A and B are shown apart, each in its own frame.
Chain A
């Protein structure tokens, strides 16, 4: 029997998320939680000034080498805006771009425009495509939901490495509560779960991992404690609004929007607009748009209109699917078979998540 889908009265989240629950007024837990948390991220102008002052002071005090801080840039809104802030605040960051072989033209031209104007130094981490392809194939074959954790994992690992190499103590991250809160935990997996990556690849991969940058749980703890690496989140201290940020970037840099959260990568677009909805019945736009509703950037009506738009036009899908399958070396039949296979949970494979929980509780206990 098919259960009816229940949707929150204030946002787009619905009961296709297995963990959602509603109060008696039909409001979902994400809205309720945001109602409590968002005010903590809202500041007066004076407070923002003080926040920025403290942040810059901290960055300057921790500068050891040539650079104040490290900024990872993808060409998307959040990371581009962090680079813009660094420019406005007259910081000297090392900008790092992670190239996993799926960059769109828009992504690289956005990064170029920002670097042209700011004059910041760029370093790229180019992943070995043959190896990364094999890894992505493994995850697709494993039928687990978070294929993108591979890129996220490698980004974090390479950022740690580059920060250490360049003697940088502060990493400015684009992570922010305002536009990213309320992502259902069933839609993603822990990025740091190296054991999960390794086991899945052992089962489905064709070649061993040699150059893929990894960071295990112990190593990440060590980095944070021994090298005193700080992840700073400037977007969390300035009343961040995505639409305003886009306007600034367009006006000041000639930056261009790419039509969807994380669509700066060909694969991410295909993953979010095809694999997730088709195989996992997940439409990430629901969560992204709902966050913007709660951040008072768009109305529920506008969000509904946006959600009603097709994820792909038929023509785009045909073309992009062909390109992506060719790049990943899947035949259409092979890929179709995988799409039909039942989704699997990440913890049906080996995982280090339990260890992580233990370490976290240890961390709390000893307060480091």
Chain B
């Protein structure tokens, strides 16, 4: 048994195609999600995360029929985030075979949804997601990806508030690190994991297995999520789905 989970984080655009971003912008098309799922299935991945990055912006809910296709093809525990605003939508997602849902944008407009959802579906189903970005004064602040605003909210207080409302896990994405292949924001992640008791999934910046090792061992993340690392090969960023084998993970994590 490995001490931490290692999760490919895949981004959907327009509810359909797979993309990879840089600092939450300039999405590059990287292929068909269903095929990606089929490949990850055989690579014995711990968990898979799909985030629909345009759902909230386009003010629409999850693309259920598409997610159903993904879920029926996927033998791996699946977490979905993007455009969720109602408990009914969560129920529907769980019914089609999604294990966990991640709530992010909705927390700015309806912070009560987390507690409501936890009451209905249990905390292990609900991931409280937050994006963090450096503001003009070089302070790390919570970022609202729907409005593309860097808020005045302090990341630690925000993480604590997600926890207090019952989120079973916190997904922490560092905007400035996204797609940059320069390592996680180890200090930020460490501060958050020190502050909260719930597991923290670190995301943004992984470029090699050593980064995962460090974010788990140094920063205390319970899970390391990565996009570029698991969809690109080499410095030229050739699109080639990959995932470390169990032995490689054992070496870095245990």
Residues of the B chain whose Cβ atoms lie less than 8 Å from the Cβ of A111: 233, 240
List the A side residues contacting B17 at CB < 8 Å.
Answer: 128-130
User: Who on chain A is nearest to B31 by CB?
Assistant: A126
Per the bound structure, the CA–CA distance linking A146 and B69 in Å amounts to 28
Once the chains bind, are A126 and B233 in contact (CB under 8 Å)?
no
A326 with B235: in contact, given A101-B32, A126-B30 (CB under 8 Å)?
A: no
Segment at the interface with B among A48-56, A116-124, A245-253, A350-358: A116-124
Q: Which of B16, B29, B41, B242 contacts A112 (CB 8 A)?
A: B242
| A122-B35 contact in complex given A105-B43, A323-B73, C-beta closer than 8 Å | no
Known: A108-B39, A115-B234. A124 touches B32 (CB 8 A): no
**A-side interface residues, number (CB < 8 Å):** 25
Task: Please name all residues of chain B whose beta carbon is closer than 8 Å to the beta carbon of A99 when the two chains form the complex.
Answer: 31, 239
Residue A199 CB within 8 A of the other chain: no
Q: How large is the interface on B (under 10, 10 to 19, 20 to 34, 35 or more residues)?
A: 20 to 34
Most buried by A among B30, B32, B73, B242: B32
Pick the contact of B238: A104, A105, A123, A130 (CB < 8 A).
A123
The answer to whether the Cβ of B241 comes within 8 Å of any Cβ in the partner chain is: yes
CB distance from B176 to the nearest CB of A (A): 26
Residue on A nearest B236 in the bound complex, by CB = A121
Determine if A103 is an interface residue (Cβ-Cβ < 8 Å): yes
* With A101-B32, A112-B240, A122-B238 as contacts: A130 and B233 at CB distance below 8 Å: no
Q: Is the CB–CB distance between A101 and B236 below 8 Å?
A: no
When distances are taken between beta carbons in the complex, the residues of chain A under 8 Å from B93 are none
Q: How many inter-chain residue pairs (CB < 8 Å) link A and B?
A: 70
Tell me whether A124 and B38 are in contact in the complex, defined as CB-CB below 8 angstroms, given that A99-B31, A129-B32, A130-B17 are known contacts.
no
For the complex, give the distance between the alpha carbons of A189 and B45 in Å. Answer: 40
Closest A residue, CB atoms, query B239: A124
Interface hits, A306-363 → B, CB 8 Å: 323, 326-327
| Closest partner residue, chain B, to A111 (CB atom) | B240
A130 and B38 within 8 A (CB):
no
| A223 located at the interface, meaning its Cβ lies under 8 Å from any Cβ of chain B in the complex | no
Q: Does B42 contact A (CB under 8 A)?
A: yes
Task: Specify the chain B residue showing the minimal Cβ separation from A326.
Answer: B69
Q: Does A87 contact B (CB under 8 A)?
A: no
Bitwise, B212-254 to A at CB < 8 A (1) or not (0) is 0000000000000000000001111011111000000000000
Residue in A97, A111, A129 whose Cβ sees the most chain B Cβ within 10 Å: A129
Chain A contacts for B41, CB-based, 8 A: 105
A97 in contact with B238 (CB, 8 Å):
yes
Q: In the assembled complex, which residues on chain B have CB atoms less than 8 Å from the CB atom of A122?
A: 233-234, 236, 238, 240
A326 to B16, CA, bound (A): 15
Interchain CB contact under 8 A, B236 and A327: no
B34 within 8 A of A: yes
User: Which applies to chain B's interface (DSSP): helix, strand, loop or mixed?
Assistant: mixed
A323 cross-chain contacts in B, Cβ below 8 A? 38, 73
Q: Is the CB of A105 within 8 A of B39?
A: yes
In the complex, the answer to whether A101 meets B31 with C-beta atoms within 8 Å is yes
For the complex, what is the distance from the CA of A105 to the CA of B45, rounded to whole Å? 13
Q: Is A271 part of the contact surface with B, judged by Cβ < 8 Å?
A: no
Give every chain A residue within 8 A of B69 (Cβ-Cβ).
326
Q: Quick one: given A115-B234, A122-B233, are A105 and B38 in contact (CB under 8 Å)?
A: yes
A101–B32 CA distance with the chains assembled, in angstroms: 6
A104 and B236 within 8 A (CB):
no
Q: Does A102 contact B (CB under 8 A)?
A: yes
What is the distance, in angstroms, from A273's C-beta to the closest C-beta of chain B? 17
A126 to B30, CA, bound (A): 6
Contacts of A302 in B (CB 8 A): none
Chain A residues lying within 8 Å of B16, measured Cβ to Cβ, are: 130
Distance between A93 CB and nearest chain B CB, rounded to angstroms: 12
Map CB proximity to B onto A112-150 as digits: 1 under 8 Å, 0 otherwise.
100100000111101011100000000000000000000
Residues of the B chain whose Cβ atoms lie less than 8 Å from the Cβ of A124: 238-240
| Chain B, 12-65, CB within 8 A of any chain A CB | 16-17, 29-32, 34-35, 38-39, 41-43
Partner of A103, one of B35, B73, B234, B235: B35
B73 neighbours in A (Cβ, 8 Å): 323, 326
Residues of B within 8 A of A126 (CB): 29-31, 239
Chain A's nearest CB lies how many Å from the CB of B19? 10
A101 to B38 CA separation, bound complex (whole angstroms): 11
Residues of chain B contacted by A102 (CB below 8 angstroms) = 35
Residue of A nearest to B16 (CB): A130
Q: Give the contacting residue for A115; candidates B39, B233, B239; CB below 8 A.
A: B233
The answer to whether the Cβ of A109 comes within 8 Å of any Cβ in the partner chain is yes
What CA separation (Å) do A112 and B31 show in the bound complex?
A: 17
> Residue on B with the closest CB to A119?
B234
Task: Determine the chain B residues whose CB is within 8 A of the CB of A128 once the complex forms.
Answer: 17, 29
Closest 8 CB pairs of A and B: A122-B238, A129-B32, A105-B42, A101-B32, A124-B239, A124-B238, A105-B39, A121-B236
Starting from the known contacts A102-B35, A327-B32, 10 additional A-B residue pairs (CB-CB under 8 Å) come to A95-B238, A97-B239, A104-B39, A105-B39, A109-B242, A115-B234, A121-B234, A128-B17, A129-B32, A327-B35
What are 26 sample pairs from A and B whose C-beta atoms fall under 8 A apart?
A97-B239, A99-B31, A102-B35, A103-B35, A103-B39, A104-B39, A108-B241, A109-B242, A111-B233, A111-B240, A112-B242, A115-B233, A115-B240, A121-B234, A121-B236, A121-B238, A126-B30, A126-B31, A129-B17, A129-B31, A129-B32, A130-B16, A130-B17, A323-B73, A326-B69, A327-B32
